[in-house]
Chains A and B, each alone.
Chain A
Amino acid sequence: MIHYNIFSPYSSSREGLFLRRAHASLSCLSLRVAALLNLAKIAIGCSAKAAALVLLFLVLLFPCVACGDVSVSIKLDRKEATLVDSVQLVVSVSGSRSSDLQPIVRGLEGFNVTQGGTASRLEIINGKVNAGVDYTYFIQPKQPGRFQIGPAEVTVEGKTFSSNTATITIIKQPQASGVDRGPLFLSAGLSPTRAYVEEQPTYTARLYRQVKVSDISLDLPETEHLVFKQLGKPLEYQSVLDGKTYQVLEVRYALVPSQEGLYTIGPTRMTMTVYQPRRRTSPGLFDDPFFSDPFFSFSTGRPMTLASEPQALTVLPLPETGRPADFSGLVGRFDVESKLEPTTIKAGESATLTVLLSGRGNVNRIPNLQGPELSHTKVYADEPVLKVETDAEGLAGTKTMKWALVPEKQGHYEIPPLSVSFFDTTTHQYRVIKTQPLSLSVLRGEPGMLQASSQRADEHPSEGPGKKAVKELGRDILPVHTSAKDLAAGYRIRPGHVLSWLVLMVPPFLYGATFWGLRFRKKSDQSIAVIKARKAAKKLIQKCRKGKISSSELALSLRDYLNERFDLALGSLTPDEGAAILRSKGVSLKTAQRFQSVLHRLEDAVYTGKGHERCDSLEEVPKLIKQIQKEMR
């Protein structure tokens, strides 16, 4: 038995369904927000607070990002329903989190419509922010028939956007069986019950329930030469059977028979935990209708296994009559398209022939077609790409095949049609479908291109689906340079030329010149000071040697000497100041004290009224000045 785990617990009431949907939407949103938060935390590698700020920024940023590209789509949860069923219709708006008005959905005249709520979406996929809003409706058909629903129209910021359409077939309610099957049962169906080998009839298992269940798992029957392929996700909807409302869980499979014969498909089994409301034995405080609400119904779960009824399937062999010689086993409904780009090229260049073979059925058996055979043309085939999808109707797919055509001569080339045969399950006949004949105009090629065209074309294999290595179809040298400026030598100063040495030598020369200039200036300043000092000393010594100088004049001359010698501007000079100045200029203590002593004597002479008399220290002063000069050198 094949075992499937399907669902998590949920309740059975319609209100519960709405609540659950809203909860699912909210959970989904909260999960996305949590994921966003984690993403932001990882991205910035810091605290949750900072991550929340980033998230807030993203959310605030989002409307600006999203409004640019709005799209609307509608989706039904089923393509077939009965008159008593409730079908879910979702109008999804992408690129905006709000619309100006509620969506207007065309084609709902034959249905009773109930609003099912609104849910916002915010996603970041591969760094691209996408947001949207889903409007949910539940529609109940008024009459049987085939209905086209849509397009839905949504207005965002004054602009109206239209959606796709969806089709649903409404059938009459099946006849009441007259058998009460209870609040929980499993049903199975097969359509059609007669099929050809490799055709894919649909097997549907439905769980009808009026009670709360959880932990559902499904065991499919195993039958030799029959393979089950699940079609899409399980569906959940509400339906009425024998006058009772059920919540239905529907799972669809494509059955692929590989051999003819009569098959009995055994019962499908579903295992689950069922929750029954507990009955109170005596009336009391809670014996009020308010407390009979399921919310207050305390229940216990018990495991249960349900089995469906077995199904019979007749598998017919594919007919021998009319079978094409090249039949590859393809069964279903298929179409073929082809295109050639470009349709006019030069000899040696390449054009791409693309053939798309698409349809429903055993798409995995779509054959790889042989490329066209053309004279004077090299044909290089790409790796075919098969894309398979499943939906409620079965398997569908498209195989894309490409060829690079490289004509070697100019002329007009007719590309013959490519054909493929299959067994059509609608008409029960073999069919051969062909591509349209295409034509290619080839002009005269560039010289040197033809012989070089093909040698490396098939050296690089394709790298992944959708992309392939660039094929080198020709090799040649690139053309000559023809601009007149290409003639100019460009460099006027050449390395090794006198000017080049000049360019290199100018900066160090300037530096050297500045360096020596500064040094010379410093020396000059010092020289001037020395000369001034000498002059000052000479002047004082001469005055002393003349012998006719009074004490007051000598005191003034010593002051002037210090002023000139050290570039000072003293108005008067005390003995202590004189000694301090000399000490500060580097004169020894002894000499400074001698200087101080001379000044003291001169001061005494001036203050005792002998200032105008000839000075006694005239012989000592020149020696003292010479000593100062010597120590200052």
Chain B
Amino acid sequence: MTLLAFLLVANGLGAENQQSEALFFRANEAYKEGRFQEAVDGYSQLIQSGHETGHLFYNLGNAYFRLNQIGWAILNYERARLLMPRDADLNFNLRYARDQTQDAVPESQGVMNTAFFWLDTFNLHELFWGFAVFNVVFWAILMTRLLIRPAWIFYPILVVLILWFIAGFSLGLKWYQVHSDERGVIVQEEISVLAGPDINDTVLFKLHAGTEVCHERSEDGWSLVSLPDKKRGWVKQEAVERINGTEKGANFSGVI
């Protein structure tokens, strides 16, 4: 009975994978033939069904770019970048898409990001597995010391301890960055940033699609956003999408 149940579950998973692959190829075909909205729908459906891979976010970004929706394109490129930060195609397209935006916003680089410069190069998974490897090596070398006490063990322990500490700290920092990522992208063509969460408030400045902002909080359908140069104001909640958040109903946590 158990074997039968296992076979049924495995069969069901196989069928689901086949469906996902068919949908993926249909979306790719639609993109190739210029039916970009269809491609957007296909890639979004796959993401919502749990296939939250960097490649799918990248493809979705491309499809939005072809539809001239720069904001959504940059949003999805940024989401893809959380998962595959070293992908050359992605970085090229993101750079190109950013070139198409209208607002010149200064880039902010934190002290920790400067000191731990490799954090942008690796995703959370890679840092986790890196730390896991150092963890094994560290405890293995301690075990060696415990069992056979060789004379040469001191310096290897010192080196591995330092690496273990750096890897662990990097993992913790990345974890914090991913889970406290407040970045958002303006997805509407042009929006007015107001002094308060009311349509009658003073217009402070305007932002355009693709501009990256910091999302501070939301109230009654309004979001408080800020720029690196300390400009702040309120925008309609639907005008800004958080990178590490929800996209048209799909939850994206950045930790896949």
Which residues on A are within 8 Å of B, measured CB to CB?
A: 447, 475-484, 486-491, 494-496, 500, 503-504, 507-508, 510-511, 514-515, 518
Contacts and interface: CB of A to CB of B under 8 A. Distances in A.
Interface in B2-40: 20-21, 24-25, 28, 31, 34, 39
B139 A478 contact: no
Contact of A511 (B46, B132, B146): B146
A393 to B, nearest CB: 54
B224 interface: no
Contact of B128 (A484, A488, A489, A500): A500
A110 B179 CA distance: 94
Given A482-B25, A504-B132, A511-B143, 15 more contacts: A480-B39, A480-B58, A480-B59, A484-B25, A487-B53, A487-B55, A488-B53, A489-B256, A495-B124, A495-B128, A495-B171, A500-B128, A504-B131, A507-B140, A514-B146
Nearest to B17: A487
Given A477-B93, A511-B143, A495 B255 contact: yes
Chain B interface secondary structure, helix, strand, loop or mixed?
A: helix
B46 A503 contact: no
B250 to A, nearest CB: 15
A507 B25 CA distance: 43
B149 to A, nearest CB: 12
Contacts of A476: 96
Contacts of A483: 55
B135 A481 contact: no
A489 B53 contact: yes
B173 to A, nearest CB: 13
B124 to A, nearest CB: 5
25 contacts: A477-B62, A477-B65, A477-B93, A477-B96, A478-B89, A480-B28, A480-B62, A480-B63, A481-B59, A481-B89, A482-B25, A484-B24, A486-B53, A486-B55, A486-B59, A487-B51, A487-B53, A487-B55, A489-B52, A491-B256, A494-B256, A495-B125, A495-B128, A503-B132, A514-B147
B125 A487 contact: no
Interface in B49-84: 50-53, 55-56, 58-59, 62-63, 65
Contacts of A510: 139, 143
Contacts of A487: 20-21, 24, 46, 51, 53, 55-56
Interface residues of B, number: 43
A504 B65 CA distance: 41
B234 interface: no
A445 B132 CA distance: 50
Nearest to B168: A504
Contacts of A479: 62, 89
A484 B27 CA distance: 12
B136 interface: yes
Nearest to B124: A495
A495 B256 CA distance: 8
Contacts of B46: 487
Chain A interface secondary structure, helix, strand, loop or mixed?
A: loop
B235 interface: no
B92 interface: yes
Contacts of A484: 21, 24-25
A487 B131 CA distance: 26
Contacts of A496: 255
A552 to B, nearest CB: 49
A519 to B, nearest CB: 10
A494 B255 contact: yes
A483 B39 CA distance: 15
B156 to A, nearest CB: 16
B125 to A, nearest CB: 5
A503 B62 CA distance: 37
Contacts of B139: 507-508, 510-511
B97 interface: yes
Contacts of A478: 89, 92-93
A476 B66 CA distance: 10
Contacts of B122: none
B138 A507 contact: yes
A504 B53 CA distance: 24
B133 to A, nearest CB: 10
A500 B53 CA distance: 19
A481 B24 CA distance: 10
B124 A514 contact: no
A514 B147 CA distance: 9
A510 B139 CA distance: 8
A601 to B, nearest CB: 48
Contacts of A514: 143, 146-147
Interface in B185-218: none
A360 B31 CA distance: 59
B225 to A, nearest CB: 27
B252 interface: no
Contact of A507 (B21, B52, B59, B136): B136
A483 B56 CA distance: 11
Nearest to A496: B255
Contact of B135 (A475, A488, A504): A504
B222 interface: no
B30 to A, nearest CB: 10
B119 interface: no
A499 to B, nearest CB: 11
Contacts of B143: 510-511, 514
A511 B62 CA distance: 49
Nearest to B34: A447
B59 A494 contact: no
B31 A480 contact: yes
A478 B91 CA distance: 10
Contacts of B56: 486-487
B53 A490 contact: yes
A489 B51 contact: yes
Nearest to B136: A507
Which of A475, A479, A490, A491: most chain B CB closer than 10 A?
A491
Contacts of B53: 486-490
Nearest to B65: A477
Nearest to B90: A478
Contacts of B125: 490-491, 494-495
A65 to B, nearest CB: 39
Contacts of B50: 489
Contact of A477 (B20, B97, B135): B97
A503 B56 CA distance: 28
A571 to B, nearest CB: 37
B8 to A, nearest CB: 22
B179 to A, nearest CB: 9
Nearest to B88: A478
A56 to B, nearest CB: 42
A490 B171 CA distance: 19
A535 to B, nearest CB: 33
B97 A495 contact: no
Which of A479, A481, A490: most chain B CB closer than 10 A?
A481
Contacts of B140: 507
Contacts of A490: 53, 125
Given A477-B97, A486-B56, A491-B256, A515 B136 contact: no
Contacts of A447: 34
Interface in B204-256: 255-256
B161 interface: no
Nearest to B137: A507
Contacts of A508: 135, 139
Contacts of B132: 503-504
Interface in B155-199: 171, 175
A82 to B, nearest CB: 71
Q: Ordered nearest first, which 8 A-B pairs have the shortest CB separation?
A: A486-B55, A507-B139, A480-B59, A495-B128, A478-B89, A481-B55, A477-B93, A482-B28
B13 to A, nearest CB: 13
A486 to B, nearest CB: 3
Nearest to A478: B89
Contacts of B131: 504
A475 B39 CA distance: 22
